[in-house]
Every structure is written in structure tokens, then in C-alpha cells.
């Protein structure tokens, strides 16, 4: 059979109907000594007094459940109300000292209260004696304190069994106070019930607190999915934690070479620590109670910290939950830095290639201006001279001048065709990559170039133009600088890539060891290397002075070209 009561938060709880009666069961009526006859009136009076005491005890316990346990929520509220209830009961029994206050002393850290926490009037020597008395028994009892008052000590036992005693409630007694079994049973019941109630409510509170931290971690992780800088990431983390009811303060700081800079905060941590210290009877360093510091570590360096303060004196929550917030900040910052680095490299590479393109265009313009245009100008003058010779009937001279002019025009046409090949190889569009490479080899003057290419013509415009430009630049360098008599170009299809091998028998390349740079004649080599890297490929150049030069480039077939850089 169960009887209903009201628990904390207004919830209905069920208790065994016999629990209160068993705890309050009084001793039997004293047996009549042999040979003594007790009058019926006296026997009835004693029975009536016994029933009245049991009724009073039952009422006190009922009031305790309805007025204390059902109306208090925090450990301090429950303990304070319990001691007041016990003292009022003992005053009604005319055994409590009206001049001395009752008190509570915590012998162990429990209920989010530090060890040594006490109320007004607490006696340290009495607490020490109680620890010894209650080592074997968990029943309320009278304790005499040397040179002090006699107290009625009510144990607050550790229901987990880790400690014999968590604390005690003490009520100073009158010198001649007599405690019967019913009074002791009521006090013991209140002490045990107080511990059970606080433990139950604290378990619920701890579960709720853990849920709030988990929700805060989820909010922070959700908002920190996208890359963001360190300041913004810390602000997001602090905002996510601010709604946790258990936290009374927190802040995020960045560690710089010169100082620690605070970027976000909430609450008043210092005020809470002062309050906790004021409520402590011991000299413990309470600044660390409920304090958690989350380091933000990037590349083995602690770049920032998130400090949190709770009113509780127990562990806030598992490191895994709170640690995930710091991990989310670290991830967002790392992604932001990576994105910034990639963007910087992109801009740098784009700038270098644009500059190289502008230099190539300037060179083409200079070639047209210094070569073709001047040649055409000279040819025009010759043709005007030929016209005057015709007017003078000097047909032989005019014919010779016209023939020279025709040769000059054909030369200009070849020059223009070569320049057009550099700007945009029409043969690549018309006949495919293999034919375009062979055509490149034919246009290298004074060098015998052998071209071997077996790559498919349907590689795509990005691959084709990249291969064409690398070979074109290499052959241009050979013609201008290598002083070679022969060269070979081999473009082959490998298993997962395209290999380009270009070699000559010229004077070699002094910069082969260090690789291409951005100075002087090495600009063409720099362009070839950048083109290969745009596809995730490799580029190398080898050779020594007087021993010829070899260029090797590899383009993976699954490489993705950067359209912006190729435009």
C-alpha cells in the first residue's frame, strides 16, 4: 500500500504507508513489575499520553513532508527549513534550549556545499564528537560537549555509503531534557529524509544542467561550421554558453605577445566568488570551485581561453561536452586560416600569371612594332620607288624592287603567323593537339626538333592548351638560349597522367639546380611550372652547363584546372 505526498517542484511522489509509522514506532508501554497492581485509571492515562505523543510525531512528519520537502528546492533552503522544523518540535516537547540557536555543520563536501559550511552558532568540537559517535550508528542522539551545552545531534548520513556522515543538525538541549524513543525516531527520520530529498533533487538538477551544457555545445558547433576568425568564434561560443542557468559568469580572452585581451564576457564572476568565500567556514581557495577553463589550441599553441564560473562546488559537467565547444572554435579558426591562406596564394599566383601574360603581350607588341611594322613600312617605301621607276620606264629596276617587296611581305606573313601561334594556336582548334605540337616543332629555326605525341585529341581544351603552352615555351627557350642543334619533345599518356619530356643538346641551364625564378629569362620557366601546378602536377628541370637541358612535367588526368588562372 502506498500513500501520496507532494515532492519538490509540485510533483506527486509515493511513499510506503508504513515508512513513517515504522520510523516513528515508539517503545511498548512499560511492563508492570511483578507483584504490583496498576490502577485502570493510571494505565489509561499512560496509554492516552503514548497515543498523543505518536499523534504529535505523525503530525510533525506530515508537516515536514508538506511544508519543507514540497516547498524547498536548493540544498540550503531544505537544510534550513529542516533544522527549524526539528527545533520547533523539540521546543514543543519542552526539551530544546530557547536561548541557543540550532545549527548545521557539513563534515564532507556534499550537496554543492563545501566542507566546513555551517550556520550561526555552530560548534566545531561538537561536530568532531558527532563524527565519532555516528561512525557506527545513524540514530539521532544526545551529545555532551565539554564545557559547553548538551546538544541533540541529528545525523545527515551519506546514502551512497562512501562516508559515514555528511553533516549534522544540532539543537541545544535544556540541562534536564529527557528524550524518548518517539522524539529520537522523528529526528532521525527528518535527517534521513532530508538527505534523500536533497540527493534526489540534486540528481535532477545535475541532469538538467548537463542537458543545458549539451545544448549549448550543439548551438556553438552548429554556428561554427563555417570558417570564422578567432574573435568571432569566441563570441559565438560565449553567447551559446550564456543561456546556461548554472553559469553565473564567463569570458573569452585572446593571448597576444603583449597582453591578454578580453573579447566577450557575461555575468560577474568576482562577485560570485566573494559570496562563496563569505559562506565558507574554512580557508579553502574557493576561487577554483566551479571554475572551468577551456583552452583553444591551434598548432600546439594556446591562442585563447574560455573561462566559466558556476555557483556549484562540484564538477560542472564532463570534459567531453565542454571540450567540444573549444574544439568547434579551433576548427572554425583553422578553417578560416586555411581559407585565408588559399585565397592569398590564389591572389599571388593570379597576380604572377597576369603579370606574365602582360609581359608576353608586351613582347608580342614589341615584336610586331620592331619587326613586322618596320618591315612593312620599308616595303611600302620600296613599292613607291618601284612606281617611280615604272613612270621613268625603268622596268627592270622596278621589277627587281617589286620582287624584293614580295619577299618582304611573305616574311612578314610568316612573322605574323608565328605571333598568332603564340597568341592562339588555330591549328590546335582545327587539327587537334598532336598536329599542333608537330607544327610547333617545324617552326623552330636552326634546331632539328623531333616531336612524338600519342595523347588523345579529346582531352579537353584546358589540358590541351596547357600541354601546348608548356611545349611552346620550352621550344622558345631552346631557340633563343640553348644554342642547340637538336631537341626532342615526347608527350605520352601514362596510366593516370600525361608525361611531357623535352630535352636538347645545348649549352645547358645554370638555374637547373635551384629551379625557375621570377627574374630575367626564367619567367618562361616560372610560367611552365605554374601551369603544371594548376592541375596538381609536377615540374622539374635538370642539366648542367655544357650538358644540355631536360624538362619533365606531369599532369594528373583527375586534376582540376583553376578556370580563373587559365582565363
- What is the C-alpha R_g of the chain? 48
In the predicted structure, residue 423 carries a pLDDT above the cut 80: no
The answer to whether residue 300 is domain-embedded is: yes
- Amino acid 14: pLDDT: 37
Q: Quote the mean pLDDT of the chain.
A: 78
- Amino acid 517: pLDDT: 41
Q: Are residues 18 and 93 in the same domain?
A: yes
The answer to whether residue 508 is domain-embedded is: yes
Percent of the chain with pLDDT strictly greater than 90: 9
To 10 degrees, what angle do helices 17-24 and 40-63 make? 130
In the predicted structure, residue 171 carries a pLDDT above the cut 80: yes
Q: Are residues 331 and 451 in the same domain?
A: no
Q: Residue 472 and residue 440: Cα distance in Å, rounded?
A: 7
Task: Answer with the residue of higher pLDDT: 193 or 210.
Answer: 193
- Amino acid 550: pLDDT: 92
Q: How many domains does the chain have?
A: 3
Condensed to tens digits (0 to 9), the pLDDT of residues 495-515 reads 888 999 999 998 887 544 344
- Amino acid 119: pLDDT: 85
Which has the minimum average pLDDT: 202-216, 350-364, 407-421? 350-364
CATH number of the domain enclosing 447: 3.30.565.10
Q: Which of 319, 341, 363 is the last residue of a domain?
A: 341
The answer to whether residue 92 is domain-embedded is: yes
Assign 120 to helix, strand or coil: coil
Q: Are residues 452 and 536 in the same domain?
A: yes
Q: Residue 196 and residue 13: Cα distance in Å, rounded?
A: 13
User: Which domain does 168 fall in, by range?
Assistant: 2-29+39-204
Q: Are residues 117 and 250 in the same domain?
A: no
The answer to whether residue 215 is domain-embedded is: no
Q: Are residues 289 and 187 in the same domain?
A: no
Q: Which of 117-126, 192-201, 242-251, 366-375 has the highest mean pLDDT?
A: 192-201
Q: Are residues 175 and 243 in the same domain?
A: no
Q: Are residues 234 and 195 in the same domain?
A: no
The answer to whether residue 413 is domain-embedded is: no
Taking CA atoms, 534 is separated from 209, 462, 464, 470, in Å, by 52, 11, 14, 12
In the predicted structure, residue 559 carries a pLDDT above the cut 70: no
CATH number of the domain enclosing 91: 3.30.450.40
Q: What is the mean pLDDT of residues 119-134?
A: 84
Q: Are residues 161 and 295 in the same domain?
A: no
Condensed to tens digits (0 to 9), the pLDDT of residues 2-22 reads 333 333 333 333 333 333 334
Closest CA to 249 of 262, 235, 238: 238
DSSP character for 150?
A: E
Q: Are residues 436 and 467 in the same domain?
A: yes
Q: Which of 297, 317, 341 is the last residue of a domain?
A: 341
Q: Are residues 24 and 121 in the same domain?
A: yes
Q: Are residues 501 and 546 in the same domain?
A: yes
Q: Which of 276-285, 337-346, 356-365, 440-449 has the highest mean pLDDT?
A: 440-449
DSSP character for 16?
A: E
Condensed to tens digits (0 to 9), the pLDDT of residues 53-84 reads 777 777 878 888 888 888 888 888 889 889 99
Q: What is the mean pLDDT of residues 456-479?
A: 85
The answer to whether residue 361 is domain-embedded is: no
The answer to whether residue 548 is domain-embedded is: yes
Q: Cα dihedral sign for 264, 253, 249, 295?
A: positive
Q: Are residues 185 and 54 in the same domain?
A: yes
Q: Which of 341, 365, 394 is the last residue of a domain?
A: 341
- Amino acid 169: pLDDT: 92
Amino acid at each position: 500500500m502506498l500513500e501520496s505526498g507532494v515532492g519538490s517542484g509540485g510533483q506527486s511522489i509515493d511513499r510506503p504507508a508504513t515508512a513513517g509509522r515504522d520510523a516513528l514506532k515508539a517503545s511498548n508501554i512499560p511492563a508492570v513489575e511483578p507483584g504490583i497492581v496498576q490502577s485502570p485509571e493510571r494505565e489509561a492515562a499512560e496509554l492516552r499520553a503514548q497515543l498523543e505523543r505518536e499523534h504529535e510525531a505523525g503530525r510533525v512528519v506530515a508537516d515536514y513532508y508538506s511544508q519543507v520537502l514540497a516547498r524547498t528546492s536548493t540544498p540550503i533552503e531544505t537544510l534550513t527549513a529542516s533544522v527549524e522544523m526539528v527545533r520547533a518540535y523539540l521546543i514543543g516537547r519542552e526539551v530544546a534550549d530557547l536561548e541557543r540557536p540550532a545549527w548545521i555543520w557539513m563534515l564532507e563536501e556534499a550537496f554543492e556545499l563545501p566542507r566546513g559550511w555551517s550556520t550561526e552558532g555552530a560548534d566545531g568540537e561538537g561536530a568532531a564528537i558527532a563524527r565519532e559517535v555516528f561512525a557506527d550508528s545513524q540514530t539521532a542522539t544526545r551529545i555532551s560537549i565539554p564545557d559547553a551545552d548538551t546538544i541533540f545531534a541529528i545525523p545527515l548520513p551519506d546514502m551512497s555509503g562512501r562516508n559515514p556522515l555528511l553533516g549534522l543538525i544540532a539543537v541545544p538541549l535544556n540541562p534536564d531534557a529527557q528524550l524518548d524513543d518517539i522524539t529520537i525516531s522523528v529526528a532521525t527520520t527528518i535527517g534521513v529524509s532530508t538527505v534523500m530529498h536533497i540527493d534526489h533533487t540534486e540528481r535532477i538538477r545535475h541532469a538538467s544542467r548537463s542537458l543545458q551544457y549539451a545544448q549549448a555545445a550543439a548551438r556553438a558547433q552548429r554556428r561554427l561550421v563555417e570558417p570564422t576568425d578567432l574573435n568571432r568564434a569566441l563570441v559565438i561560443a560565449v553567447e551559446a554558453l550564456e543561456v546556461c542557468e548554472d553559469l553565473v559568469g564567463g569570458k573569452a580572452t585572446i593571448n597576444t605577445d603583449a597582453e591578454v585581451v578580453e573579447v566577450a564576457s557575461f555575468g560577474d564572476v568576482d562577485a560570485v566568488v566573494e559570496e562563496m568565500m563569505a559562506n565558507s567556514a574554512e580557508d579553502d581557495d574557493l576561487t577554483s570551485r566551479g571554475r572551468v577553463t577551456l583552452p583553444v589550441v591551434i598548432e600546439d599553441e594556446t591562442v585563447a581561453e574560455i573561462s566559466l564560473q558556476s555557483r556549484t562546488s562540484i564538477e560542472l559537467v564532463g570534459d567531453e561536452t565542454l571540450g567540444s565547444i573549444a574544439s568547434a572554435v579551433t576548427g572554425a579558426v583553422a578553417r578560416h586560416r586555411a581559407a585565408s591562406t588559399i585565397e592569398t596564394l590564389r591572389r599571388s599566383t593570379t597576380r604572377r600569371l597576369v603579370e606574365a601574360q602582360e609581359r608576353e603581350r608586351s613582347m608580342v607588341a614589341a615584336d610586331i612594332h620592331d619587326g613586322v611594322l618596320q618591315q612593312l613600312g620599308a616595303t611600302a617605301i620600296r613599292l613607291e620607288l618601284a612606281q617611280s621607276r615604272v613612270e621613268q620606264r625603268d622596268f627592270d629596276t622596278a621589277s627587281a624592287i617589286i620582287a624584293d617587296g614580295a619577299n618582304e611581305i611573305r616574311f612578314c606573313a610568316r612573322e605574323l603567323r608565328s605571333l598568332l601561334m603564340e597568341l592562339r594556336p588555330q591549328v590546335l582548334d582545327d587539327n587537334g593537339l598532336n598536329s599542333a605540337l608537330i607544327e610547333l616543332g617545324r617552326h623552330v629555326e636552326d634546331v632539328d626538333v623531333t616531336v612524338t605525341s600519342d595523347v588523345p585529341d579529346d582531352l579537353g581544351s584546358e589540358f590541351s592548351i596547357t600541354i601546348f603552352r608548356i611545349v611552346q615555351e620550352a621550344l622558345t627557350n631552346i631557340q633563343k638560349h640553348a644554342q642547340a642543334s637538336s631537341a626532342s619533345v615526347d608527350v605520352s599518356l601514362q596510366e593516370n597522367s600525361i608525361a611531357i619530356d623535352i630535352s636538347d643538346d645545348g649549352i645547358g641551364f645554370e638555374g637547373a639546380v635551384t629551379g625557375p625564378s621570377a627574374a630575367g629569362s626564367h619567367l618562361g620557366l616560372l610560367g611552365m611550372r605554374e601551369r603544371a601546378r594548376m592541375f596538381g602536377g609536377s615540374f622539374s628541370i635538370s642539366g648542367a652547363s655544357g650538358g644540355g637541358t631536360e624538362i619533365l612535367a606531369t599532369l594528373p588526368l583527375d586534376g582540376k584546372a583553376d578556370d580563373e588562372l587559365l582565363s
